[in-house]
Structure 1
Amino acid sequence: MDLNLTLRITDPPPDWLDRFTALIAALGPAAVTDDAPDPGWTADRALTFIEHINPRGRQLLRAAVDGGGRVSGEEFRAVHGDDALSGRMTSLTGTLKSGTAKGWWPTGTVAPLTPTGPDKRGWSKTAFYYLGDGLLGAFRTAFARHDAAE
């Protein structure tokens, strides 16, 4: 039998969680689980990611961070050449997969950058790359740490 409880405690005393955990632990090991949600992309995970992607992938990711969470494909190509975006996402995808296999982040972690095309009817050049919601701070911190270490 499985029993899942969700508790919402308003203004608990400081020792409430310790007392509650001890009470549940007294029921036996099967009653205690740690289902805390994974924090997702942290600055530490972002730094590991940055250190393992190739320089071309890092350049694209940095452009998105420097752009406040997005980079225009057209502007990136204007600076770096018409084929500048070819293969850059491959590095990010490969590092995401290998990092998952090595336990650097949990299975199901989504790529930090998402490409968007100008239309959905077929092949077209990428219009923008976006950092996922809430990722800008973690990657900005990670790049600052990466740059300071170089």
Structure 2
Amino acid sequence: MKITIEGASEEFAEKVLALAAQQGAELTVATVQTGWTVDRAERYLRSLPVGARRFAEMVVVEGDGYLDADQLRSVIGRLNGPTVALSRAVPRGVKKGWWPEGTSAPITPVSDPDNPSWHQNIAYQMDTENVPVFREALRNLLLSSARPWSGEAPSALDAPTGWAAADDIPRVMGPNSDFEQGS
């Protein structure tokens, strides 16, 4: 027998397990943590295009988890592109197995309470417990991309800055092309 409990409190899950145990069921309990970790936050930020990553950076660093939409617009311009990228990053990460189903979006829009029918958001926010996690992730990304100059130009075949070697990186040339490195 397999029982999957998603989106329930721990107390409720324990009651279901106790009920199943009364019926003689042998159960294995596996918990999935849907919260944000530094590794997940780094992967999330790495998956974003430049404008969306700048958007996230501003909410985390400059806004400390809350930033007015007008301030974002003054730096980024129209917010349509970055907000679409932010909204698609979480489902893409679930599909690729980077984080579990049920992981919430780290940045959410704030609607105008005085004018809820008007769809332009007045701000964007991040839960306070996620702000230090994303600060650390941004710091790690910055440190990983700040390599000392060795005097040689980086290879065009290396993973771009901010991407992990195992990421599915879009390439101009296919992996089976006739190009020889160093020629």
TM tier relative to shorter chain: 0.7 to 0.9
Residue 30, structure 1, aligned to residue 26, structure 2: yes
Secondary structure of the residue that 1:71 maps to in structure 2? strand
Q: State the TM-score, normalized to the length of structure 2.
A: 0.61
What's the offset of the Cα at 1:79?
Answer: 3.1
After TM superposition, list the pairs within 5 Å mapping 1:93-108 onto structure 2. 93-108=87-102
Secondary structure of the residue that 1:87 maps to in structure 2? helix
The CA RMSD over aligned residues, in Å, is 2.4
What's the offset of the Cα at 1:78?
Answer: 2.5
What's the offset of the Cα at 1:33?
Answer: 2.1
In proportion to residue count, which structure has more helix?
1
Secondary structure of the residue that 1:4 maps to in structure 2? helix
Q: State the TM-score, normalized to the length of structure 1.
A: 0.73
* Separation in 1, partners of 2:107, 2:70: 16
Q: Which amino acid aligns with 1:63?
A: M
Are the equivalent residues in 1 in contact too, given 2:111–2:120 (CA < 8 A)? yes
The CA deviation string for residues 25-67 of structure 1, in whole angstroms up to 9 with x for no partner, is: xxxx934322x35151000000000000111110110001112
* Separation in 2, partners of 1:139, 1:121: 29
- Select the residue among 56, 61, 69 that pairs with 1:73: 69
What's the offset of the Cα at 1:76?
Answer: 1.7
The CA deviation string for residues 105-129 of structure 1, in whole angstroms up to 9 with x for no partner, is: 1111111001112244323422110
Q: Which amino acid aligns with 1:79?
A: V
* Separation in 2, partners of 1:147, 1:37: 29
Residue 144, structure 1, aligned to residue 139, structure 2: yes
Q: Which amino acid aligns with 2:76?
A: H
| Paired residue total | 125
* Separation in 2, partners of 1:75, 1:32: 49
After TM superposition, list the pairs within 5 Å mapping 1:76-91 onto structure 2. 76-81=72-77, 83=78, 85-91=79-85
* Separation in 1, partners of 2:58, 2:36: 18
Unaligned runs of 5+ in 2: 4-15, 19-24, 146-183
